[in-house]
Structure 1
Amino acid sequence: MVSATDALAQNPDAIYSTYETYNGSDLEMTLNASGTHFRLWSPSAQAVRLKIYPTGRNSASEQTIEMTRDKNGTWTAGIPQKLYGKFYTFQILHNGKWLDETPGVWAKAVGINGNRGAIIDFDATNPEGWDNDKGPTIKNINDAVIYEMHHRDFSMHPSSGIASKGKFLALTEHGTTNPKGDKTGIDHLKELGVTHVHILPSYDYNSVDEANLPANTYNWGYDPQNYNAPEGSYSTNPANPSTRVSEMKEMVKALHDAGIGVVMDVVYNHTAENDGSNFSLTAPGYYYRHRPDGSYSDASGCGNETASERQQMRNFIVNSVKYWAKEYHIDGFRFDLMAIHDTTTMNEVARELKKINPDIFVYGEGWTAGN
Structure 2
Amino acid sequence: MKFKKILVMGILSFLLAPKAGAQTFSEACYTPGLTRFQLFAPDNAKQVTLRIYDDGQGGKPVKTVKMKRTAAETYSAELKGDLKGKFYTFDTGAGECAGVFAKAVGVNGQRAAIIDMSATDPEGWDTDRITTVVSPADLIVYEMHHRDFSVDSSSGLVNKGKFLALTEPKAIEHLKKLGVNAVHILPSFDYASVDETRLNEPQYNWGYDPVNYNVPEGSYSTDPYTPATRIKEFKQMVQALHKAGIRVILDVVYNHTFNIEGSNFERTYPGYFYRKTADGRWSDGSGCGNETASERPAMRKFMIESVLYWVKEYHIDGFRFDLMGVHDIETMNQIRAALNKEYPATIIYGEGWSAGPCAYPQDKLAMKANMSSMPGISAFGDELRDALRGPFNDDHKGAFLAAVPGNEESIKFGIAGAICHPQVDMTKVNYSKEAWAAEPVQMLSYVSCHDDMCLVDRLRTSIPGIGMDELIRLDLLAQTAVMTSQGMPFILSGEEMLRDKKGVHNSFNSPDSINRIDWTNLEKYPQVMDYYSKLISLRKNHPAFRLGTADKVRRHLEFLPVQDNLVAFRLKDNAGGDAWKNIIVVLNSAKEARTVAVPEGSYTVVCRDGVINESGLGIVSGSEVNVPAQSALIIHD
| TM-score between the two structures when normalised by the length of structure 1 | 0.89
Contact 1:56–1:111 (Cα < 8 Å) also in 2:
yes
**Equivalents in 2 of 1:358, 1:68: separation in Å?**
40
Q: Does 1:111 align with 2:106?
A: yes
What is the DSSP-based 3-state SS (H/G/I as helix, E as strand, rest coil) of the residue aligned with 2:160? coil
Q: 202, 217, 225: which is aligned to 1:239?
A: 225
**Corresponding residue number in structure 1 for 2:55:** 55
**Corresponding residue number in structure 2 for 1:291:** 277
Tell me: CA distance 1:153–1:68, structure 2 relative to 1, closer, same or farther (3 Å): same
Contact 1:325–1:331 (Cα < 8 Å) also in 2:
yes
Cα deviations by residue, 1:290-347 (Å, 9 ceiling, x for unpaired): 1123221000000000000000000000000000010000000010010111111000
**Equivalents in 1 of 2:65, 2:310: separation in Å?**
30
Measured after TM superposition, the shift of residue 135 of structure 1 is 2.3
Measured after TM superposition, the shift of residue 227 of structure 1 is 0.4
**Corresponding residue number in structure 2 for 1:64:** 64
What is the DSSP-based 3-state SS (H/G/I as helix, E as strand, rest coil) of the residue aligned with 2:51? strand
Measured after TM superposition, the shift of residue 83 of structure 1 is 1.0
**Equivalents in 2 of 1:168, 1:21: separation in Å?**
43
The one-letter code sitting in structure 2 at the alignment partner of 1:265 is: D
**Corresponding residue number in structure 2 for 1:130:** 125
What is the DSSP-based 3-state SS (H/G/I as helix, E as strand, rest coil) of the residue aligned with 2:241? helix
Contact 1:20–1:43 (Cα < 8 Å) also in 2:
no
Q: 1:191-340, aligned counterparts within 5 Å?
A: 191-340=177-326
Contact 1:21–1:73 (Cα < 8 Å) also in 2:
no
**Identical counterparts, % of pairs:** 55
Q: 156, 161, 171: which is aligned to 2:156?
A: 161
Contact 2:18–2:297 (Cα < 8 Å) also in 1:
no
Tell me: CA distance 1:73–1:306, structure 2 relative to 1, closer, same or farther (3 Å): same
What is the DSSP-based 3-state SS (H/G/I as helix, E as strand, rest coil) of the residue aligned with 2:235? helix
**Equivalents in 2 of 1:20, 1:115: separation in Å?**
32
Q: Does 1:353 align with 2:348?
A: no
Tell me: CA distance 1:124–1:21, structure 2 relative to 1, closer, same or farther (3 Å): farther
The one-letter code sitting in structure 2 at the alignment partner of 1:74 is: T
Tell me: CA distance 1:237–1:46, structure 2 relative to 1, closer, same or farther (3 Å): same
**Equivalents in 2 of 1:39, 1:84: separation in Å?**
17
What is the DSSP-based 3-state SS (H/G/I as helix, E as strand, rest coil) of the residue aligned with 1:142? helix
Tell me: CA distance 1:358–1:46, structure 2 relative to 1, closer, same or farther (3 Å): same
Measured after TM superposition, the shift of residue 37 of structure 1 is 1.2
Of stretches 292-301 and 32-41 in structure 1, the one that deviates more from structure 2 is 32-41
Contact 1:23–1:312 (Cα < 8 Å) also in 2:
no
Cα deviations by residue, 1:13-44 (Å, 9 ceiling, x for unpaired): xxxx9875786664211113641111110024
What is the DSSP-based 3-state SS (H/G/I as helix, E as strand, rest coil) of the residue aligned with 2:298? helix
Contact 2:49–2:91 (Cα < 8 Å) also in 1:
yes
**Corresponding residue number in structure 2 for 1:7:** none
Tell me: CA distance 1:227–1:294, structure 2 relative to 1, closer, same or farther (3 Å): same
What is the DSSP-based 3-state SS (H/G/I as helix, E as strand, rest coil) of the residue aligned with 1:348? helix
Measured after TM superposition, the shift of residue 81 of structure 1 is 2.2
Contact 2:56–2:87 (Cα < 8 Å) also in 1:
yes
Q: Does 1:32 align with 2:27?
A: no
Contact 1:263–1:330 (Cα < 8 Å) also in 2:
yes
Contact 1:19–1:73 (Cα < 8 Å) also in 2:
no
Structure 1: runs of 5 or more not aligned: 1-16, 93-97, 177-184
Contact 2:32–2:83 (Cα < 8 Å) also in 1:
no
Cα deviations by residue, 1:110-146 (Å, 9 ceiling, x for unpaired): 1000000011000000000000001263531110110
**Corresponding residue number in structure 1 for 2:495:** none
Measured after TM superposition, the shift of residue 216 of structure 1 is 2.6
Contact 2:286–2:355 (Cα < 8 Å) also in 1:
yes
**Equivalents in 2 of 1:346, 1:72: separation in Å?**
27
**Equivalents in 2 of 1:87, 1:257: separation in Å?**
34
**Corresponding residue number in structure 2 for 1:181:** none
**Corresponding residue number in structure 2 for 1:4:** none
| TM-score between the two structures when normalised by the length of structure 2 | 0.52
Of stretches 47-56 and 134-143 in structure 1, the one that deviates more from structure 2 is 134-143
Q: Does 1:186 align with 2:172?
A: yes
**Corresponding residue number in structure 1 for 2:622:** none
**Equivalents in 2 of 1:159, 1:24: separation in Å?**
54
Tell me which of the two structures has the higher relative contact order, counting C-alpha pairs closer than 8 angstroms and 6 or more residues apart: 1
Tell me: CA distance 1:332–1:35, structure 2 relative to 1, closer, same or farther (3 Å): same
Extract structure 1 runs of 4+ deviating beyond 3 A.
Answer: 17-26
Q: Does 1:43 align with 2:42?
A: yes
**Corresponding residue number in structure 2 for 1:364:** 350
Contact 2:32–2:84 (Cα < 8 Å) also in 1:
no
**Equivalents in 1 of 2:131, 2:305: separation in Å?**
23
How many residue pairs are counted as aligned between the two chains? 341
**Corresponding residue number in structure 2 for 1:120:** 115
**Corresponding residue number in structure 1 for 2:134:** 139
Cα deviations by residue, 1:150-186 (Å, 9 ceiling, x for unpaired): 0110100111110000000000111x3xxxxxxxx12
Q: Decide which structure has the larger Cα Rg and report it.
A: 2
